[in-house]
Structure 1
Amino acid sequence: MAIERAPERTTPRIRLDQPRVRRPRLLPEYDPEAFGRLSERIARFLGTGRFIVWMTFVIIAWVVWNVSAPEHLRFDRYPFIFLTLMLSLQASYAAPLILLAQNRQDDRDRVTHEQDRKQNERSIADTEYLTREIAALRIGLGEVATRDWIRSELEDLVRDLDERRDLFPHTGSHRSDEADR
C-alpha cells in the first residue's frame, strides 16, 4: 500500500520572525513630514512682499510681451486666457498649501499650549506646596522661644526668687556646699 503525499505548497509560508515583503503600490509614496515642511516654506514665501514683486514683474512682462512682441512670437493674445489659467492654477495650488501650513501650525500651537498648561499646573502645585511649607514654618515659629520671651521668663523667675527670699529670710545656719562638690 502506497502512502499518498499531499501536494507541496506553491505559496511560501509566512514567517513571523521576518518583516513582510513590501508590496508594490500604485500611488507614489512620500514623507508627509517633508511634504509639510515644503508646504510651509512655500506658504511662507507666498506671504512675502518678494513674492508679490516677482508675481507683479511676471504679469507685467507677460502682458507687455503679448501686446508689443511681433505677431508670430505672441503666445497669449489680448484677453490673456493663458495668463488667467496660470494664475488660477497658481491660486488652486497656493490655497491648499497655505491651509496645510496653517493646520501644521495649529498642531504645533496645540502641543505648545498643552505643554504650557502642564507647566502651569506644575507651577501651581509647587506654589501651593511652598505656601503650605511657609504656613507650617510660621506656625512652628509661633511656638519657638525667642530671646525676649526667655529674658522675660528669667526676669519673672528672679522676681519670684527675690519675693521668696523676702518672705523666708535667711536662717543662721551656714552650711558649706563643699561636700556636694
Structure 2
Amino acid sequence: MSKSVPEIAAKWLRRRPENLTDAENRVLQSTIEHRPIAADINKAIAGTQSTGDRVADTIARVGGSWTFIISFIGFLIVWTIMNAWLLGQDIFDPYPFVFLNLVLSMIAALQAPIIMMSQNRQAERDRLDASHDYEVNLKSEIEIMALHAKVEELRSQEIALLCRQISELTELVQSELVKRGGKN
C-alpha cells in the first residue's frame, strides 16, 4: 500500500489531497497507520449529554411506550368513572371534565417540545452514525481495493514465474531432443 495520503488519494479515490473532506483525510490516515477507524458513537455521545438531555430522552422513551399509553387510558377511565358515577353529588370535575382537559392540555404542551428535543438529538445521532458509517465503508472499500491490487500483483508475479519456468523447461526439452537426435 502507498505510504502517504496524497498517494492513496490519487490512487484509490482519484482526487487531489486538497479536494478531500476531513472524514476522507481521517480514513486515509488510518489506512496508512493500519489502525481501525470504527468507534462506538453512542458511547461518545452519552458522555456529552446534559442532565436535561437525559431527562428529555427518558420522557420521550416513556411517553412513546405502550405501557404509558395503556396506563394513561386506565387513568382516564378511572377519572371518568370516579367523576361521573362514584362521587355522585360531590363531583370534583363534572362532565365535560374541564379540569381533565386542562391537565391533558398542559401535559401535551410540555410533552411535545420535550419529545421534539429528543427527536432532534436522535436526528443528530443518526447524522453522526451515517457519517461514521461512511468513513468505515470508505476505509473498507480502500482496503479491499488494496487487497485486490496486491492479489493481482501476486498473480502477475506468479504468471511471470510460470512463464520463465515454462521457457526453461522448453529449452531443456529442446536441448534434450537435440542430444537424442544427434545420437540416432
How many Å separate the matches in 1 of 2:169 and 2:151?
A: 27
> TM-score normalized by structure 1?
0.66
1:44 aligns with 2:64: no
Match of 1:96 in 2: 113
Specify the code of the residue in structure 2 equivalent to 1:126. E
> TM-score normalized by structure 2?
0.65
1:84 aligns with 2:101: yes
1:152 aligns with 2:170: yes
How far 1:85 sits from its partner (Å)? 0.4
Q: Name the SS for the 1:143 alignment partner.
A: helix
How many Å separate the matches in 2 of 1:155 and 1:107?
A: 72
How many Å separate the matches in 2 of 1:131 and 1:82?
A: 71
How far 1:161 sits from its partner (Å)? 2.7
How far 1:82 sits from its partner (Å)? 0.6
Q: Which has the greater radius of gyration?
A: 1
Match of 1:62 in 2: 79
- Superposed, 1:1-181 pairs within 5 Å as 33-68=50-85, 69-72=87-90, 74-145=91-162, 150-164=168-182
Which runs of 5 or more structure 2 residues have no equivalent in the other structure? 1-47
Per-residue deviation, residues 59-116 of structure 1 (Å, max 9, x unmatched): 12212222230434x2212221110000111111111121111111111111111111
Q: CA RMSD in A?
A: 2.2
Q: How many residues align?
A: 135
How many Å separate the matches in 1 of 2:100 and 2:75?
A: 10
Higher relative contact order (CA 8 A, sep 6+): 2
How many Å separate the matches in 2 of 1:80 and 1:112?
A: 46
How many Å separate the matches in 1 of 2:167 and 2:123?
A: 63
Q: Name the SS for the 1:144 alignment partner.
A: helix
Determine what percentage of the aligned residue pairs are the same residue.
Answer: 29
How many Å separate the matches in 1 of 2:154 and 2:79?
A: 80
How many Å separate the matches in 1 of 2:159 and 2:152?
A: 11
Q: Name the SS for the 2:50 alignment partner.
A: helix
How far 1:120 sits from its partner (Å)? 0.6
Specify the code of the residue in structure 1 equivalent to 2:107. Q
How far 1:122 sits from its partner (Å)? 0.4
More helix by share: 2
How far 1:163 sits from its partner (Å)? 3.9
